[in-house]
Structure 1
Amino acid sequence: MPTTGSGLLLLVVLLLPGLTFVALRERRSSERRPTAFRESGAVVFWSVTTEFVTLALFAVVRSLLPELTPDVGRLVREGGAYVREHYVSLGWWGAGLLAFSCGLAAAAAMRAAAGRHPSGMSAWWMLFDGWYPGENPMVGCLLEDGSYLEGRQASFNVSADDSPDRDLVLVQPLKYRPPGGTEARPLPWSAACVSARRIVTVFVSYPLAERAVGAGEEGAAGAAGAGSGPAAG
């Protein structure tokens, strides 16, 4: 571990792209939590990879536009003297190269999240985000006491482990049917939190899928109407 402030700052800068990759991958997907060793390995690997690509691209830009880029040779030979003379441009270039490396790591994380196999995801992730990303579907929950709760999905625990110790948050329009009841009635509340431990079955209705089905039915009806008219000519 670094023992000085500058050493700690350098460590954070070197590992920031890898941390970006891991954080965004966890945010964008539901996956089995790796061991600390694998997590650390991913941080180091993606930091080294993205920074190597960034430096390679910088070398190309340097060869094409030497007058607009920092002189790496002078930086190595003169060290602190060159830094003091050109600290503004070096600061901007350093920040830009670091941001570019983090951008590469973010793009890699989003691609990795999009390519995850369903076997590594939780059932909740597949229902609420995997099939129709960005949707907030209508969700019906049959509870263990025979009651039924329905509402629009607002948030859910993205853990890949299908554990009963997590919650599902539903918002308006909310409907509830008590045990033994025959009809679900609207609730005046704005939101409800349901424990996975109490849920027996989950029913999901996707607005995007419903719109696609409706558009298909309208198209089929229009085609049938056009075909049933009198023949031209």
Structure 2
Amino acid sequence: MPTTLTGLLLLVVLLLPGLTYVIIRDRKGSERRPTPFRETGAVVFCSVLSELVALGVFAGLRAWKPEHTPDVGRLVREGVAYARANYVELAWWAAALLLLACALSAVAATIATRLPHASAMSAWWVMFEKWFPGENPLVGCLLEDGSYMEGTLGSFNVSADDLPDRDLILVEPLKYRAPGATETHDLPWGAVCVSARRIVTVFVSYPQPPASEGAAEAAGSPASSQAAS
């Protein structure tokens, strides 16, 4: 661990790409609870890898346009003297390479959240995000008292665990069927929050894919699905 303020700031800066990766992964992906060791390893690994790629880009630019890039050889030989004489140029290049490394980490996190394995996701995540990402499907919930609630998906808890202590938000148009009734009726409300603890079965109806995508893809994609909460 660094023992000075400068060393601490340098460590934080060097780990920024890994922190970017973790933040975007957690924001866009399903919520996970990795061990501190795995989380630290992900931050360090992603930081080192993205910074190596950024340095590789710099090396290519240095070989292509040496007159427009800092002289690494002089920096190594002269050290502080060269850095003081060229601190503005070095600062701009350091910031640019750091931003490039963070951008690479952000792209990697986005790709990782779009290609999750179903075994690591919750049933809600598979139905609401994996099969038709970006869509707002029609969701019906059969509750434990026999009632039925239907509406457009508003949001859902992104925990990777199928836990009962989570909520599902449905937005208008909302429909409700009371226990023992045979017909549903519209609700004059904008949204409703349904507790997963009360849900027995979830039904999902997806928007029909465009005809240009081909009948084979439409036939191969699930038109509707259900899963026990």
**Residue 155 (structure 1) shift:** 1.0
Letter in 1 for 2:161: D
CA distance in 2, matches of 1:57, 1:11: 22
CA distance in 2, matches of 1:142, 1:212: 32
Q: Superposed, which structure 2 residues align to 1:79-94 within 5 Å? A: 79-94=79-94
The equivalent of 2:222 in structure 1 is none
CA distance in 1, matches of 2:3, 2:155: 42
**Residue 42 (structure 1) shift:** 1.2
CA distance in 2, matches of 1:81, 1:129: 55
For structure 1, which runs of at least 5 residues remain unmatched after alignment?
Answer: 217-233
The equivalent of 1:18 in structure 2 is 18
Quick check: 1:173 aligned with 2:195? no
Q: State the aligned residue count.
A: 214
- Counterpart contact for 1:142–1:149, Cα < 8 Å: yes
The equivalent of 1:105 in structure 2 is 105
- Counterpart contact for 1:140–1:150, Cα < 8 Å: yes
**Residue 90 (structure 1) shift:** 1.8
**Residue 16 (structure 1) shift:** 1.1
Letter in 1 for 2:191: A
Quick check: 1:40 aligned with 2:40? yes
Could you state the TM-score of these two structures normalised by the residue count of structure 1? 0.84
The two structures, once aligned, show a CA RMSD in angstroms of: 2.0
Letter in 2 for 1:96: A
Distance of aligned partners of 1:212 and 1:118 in 2 relative to their CA distance in 1, 3 Å threshold: farther
**Residue 212 (structure 1) shift:** 4.8
Quick check: 1:71 aligned with 2:82? no
CA distance in 1, matches of 2:7, 2:153: 46
The equivalent of 1:133 in structure 2 is 133
CA distance in 1, matches of 2:4, 2:193: 47
CA distance in 1, matches of 2:211, 2:168: 26
- Counterpart contact for 1:141–1:149, Cα < 8 Å: yes
| SS of structure 1 residue aligned to 2:116 | coil
The equivalent of 1:149 in structure 2 is 149
The equivalent of 2:220 in structure 1 is none
The equivalent of 2:207 in structure 1 is 207
Letter in 2 for 1:53: V
CA distance in 1, matches of 2:60, 2:179: 70
**Residue 8 (structure 1) shift:** 2.0
Quick check: 1:56 aligned with 2:61? no
Percent identical among aligned pairs is 67
For structure 2, which runs of at least 5 residues remain unmatched after alignment?
Answer: 216-229
Structure number with larger C-alpha Rg: 1
CA distance in 2, matches of 1:9, 1:98: 14
Letter in 1 for 2:195: S
- Counterpart contact for 1:31–1:122, Cα < 8 Å: no
| SS of structure 1 residue aligned to 2:15 | helix
| SS of structure 2 residue aligned to 1:207 | coil
| SS of structure 1 residue aligned to 2:140 | strand
Structure ranking higher in helix proportion: 1
